[in-house]
Amino acid sequence: MLTLGLHPTGRHFLQIPGPSPVPDRILRAMSLPTIDHRGPEFGALGLKVLLGLRGVFKTRQPVIVYPSSGTGAWEAALVNTMSPGDHVLMYETGYFAALWTKLATRLGLSAEVIEWTDADEQLPNAPGWRQGVRADLIEERLRKDIERRIKAVCVVHNETSTGVTSNIAAVRKAIDACGHPALLMVDTVSGLAIADYRHDEWGVDVTISGSQKGLMLPPGIGFNVASPRALEVSKSARLPRSYWAWDEIIETNKSGYWPYTPNTNLLYGLSEALEMLQAEGLENVFARHGRWAAGVRDAVNSWGLPIQCADRALYSPVLTGVITPAGIDADALRKLILERFDMSLGAGLGKLKGRMFRIGHLGNSNDLTILAALAGCEMGLKLAGVNLAGSGVETAMQFFAAHPSQISQAKSV
Ligand SMILES: *Cc1c(COP(=O)(O)O)cnc(C)c1O
């Protein structure tokens, strides 16, 4: 803990890809007094957020809300649908996908991993994990599974460790193309409410998400959405579950309540976040993040540094991963930027440790906070001795000036 006199003035720049900076409006909503979670007022709040969430997930199915982190929601998805020893096919797009695999293994499932790497040969310093999910490889594997041993295909929508957003509709198509009965489970912990996501239309069986990324809330809420088929499968699934069991929660949720104490104040915040998203419109929310991401990528390109995502079609609107030049420790760079400019950047995770850093462009932001974040990066890179090809800040300023946001366009008519 810093002593009071040494605490920096102004706002800390929380530019990690989650938890994201929380809008003041949400923080204020959360500061209301905690109420009786079995009293009459609470039911109305519960019903409101449960209904509002369906719009964000683009589903008509019930959304299950846990007082948990995203990791809890991963576990919930598996224990509600799988039986001991079941075989699951997981796709390693990065660190979060790998963590989910570890969790599945600890639960007693047999996890098989697909990983595919490309383009790294052209970049001697690139550490791997630069691609999205290849649906054709999933299809190829499922076709060989004559005995239908694979019970679920698990993929991450937006891989937060790399900044790659995979095509989920293509994975559904691949599963359907071979008529395989495996459930499709998708982690959109960081993608939800930033990148387009369609639980129903994409035929996802279990969606997993969390509060602290696109929903702009503090950490502490985990989500599952289950398809009718997943709900059916859950009736005969035999992994032990109690706290995570869908059936009891869905039943009590019908009147807006939970079987146990929900995180009341976070639900106040969620109610506010849903109002904000509804007022702006989800499509505008996606466009806003896409525009920031494009400005940030322009800046990184101007610096002459490689972007972690090697597939232009899969660039993430949530964050941008930046690979540091050989000999530049990305963690030392992040430390310098934190100490000098009071900005937190995302670390390289797992095998990417020290090799790259991540700029989050989500949560309570605007063009100027994004530019300031880029300025912090640019100053830090120069101080660390990186020879930049040009000014990323200058390029991003030009980009934002040349491409007005939807809000500013609406105001000027
Ligand atoms: C943040 C994140 C998680 C983990 O969520 P926790 O709240 O840290 O448990 C899982 N998957 C992805 C893709 C994430 O970004």
Q: Which CATH number fits domain 13-21+281-412: 3.30.420.40, 3.30.1340.30, 3.90.1150.10, 3.40.30.10?
A: 3.90.1150.10
The number of the ligand 1 atom at minimal distance from the alpha carbon of 72 is 9
Q: Show me where the domains of the chain are located.
A: 13-21+281-412, 24-279
In short, whether 395's Cβ falls inside 6 Å of ligand 1 is: no
Residue 6 pLDDT: 72
* Minimum-distance ligand 1 atom for the alpha carbon of 69: 7
CA 211 – ligand 1 centroid, Å: 10
**CA 253, 257, 261, 262: dihedral to nearest 10 degrees?**
70
Residue 71 CB–ligand 1 contact under 6 Å = yes
* φ and ψ at residue 258, rounded to 5 degrees: -120, 155
The whole-number pLDDT of residue 126 equals 72
CA nearest neighbour of 154 among 113, 189, 107, 192: 113
**pLDDT, one tens digit for every residue, the chain (413 residues):** 555 567 789 999 999 999 999 999 999 999 999 999 999 999 999 999 999 999 999 999 999 999 999 999 999 999 999 999 999 999 999 999 999 999 999 999 999 999 998 766 667 667 789 999 999 999 999 999 999 999 999 999 999 999 999 999 999 999 999 999 999 999 999 999 999 999 999 999 999 999 999 999 999 999 999 999 999 999 999 999 999 999 999 999 999 999 999 999 999 999 999 999 999 999 999 999 999 999 999 999 999 999 999 999 999 999 999 999 999 999 999 999 999 999 999 999 999 999 999 999 999 999 999 999 999 999 999 999 999 999 999 999 999 999 998 877 777 76
What pLDDT is attached to residue 15?
98
In CATH, the number for domain 24-279 is: 3.40.640.10
Ligand 1 atom closest to 17 (CA): 15
pLDDT tens per residue, range 146-166: 999 999 999 999 999 999 999
- Is the CB of residue 18 below 6 angstroms from any atom belonging to ligand 1? yes
Going from the Cα of 73 to the center of ligand 1, the distance in angstroms, rounded, reads 9
pTM comes to 0.97
Residue 121's pLDDT is what? Answer: 60
Q: What is the pLDDT of residue 176?
A: 98
Which pLDDT does position 410 carry in this prediction?
78
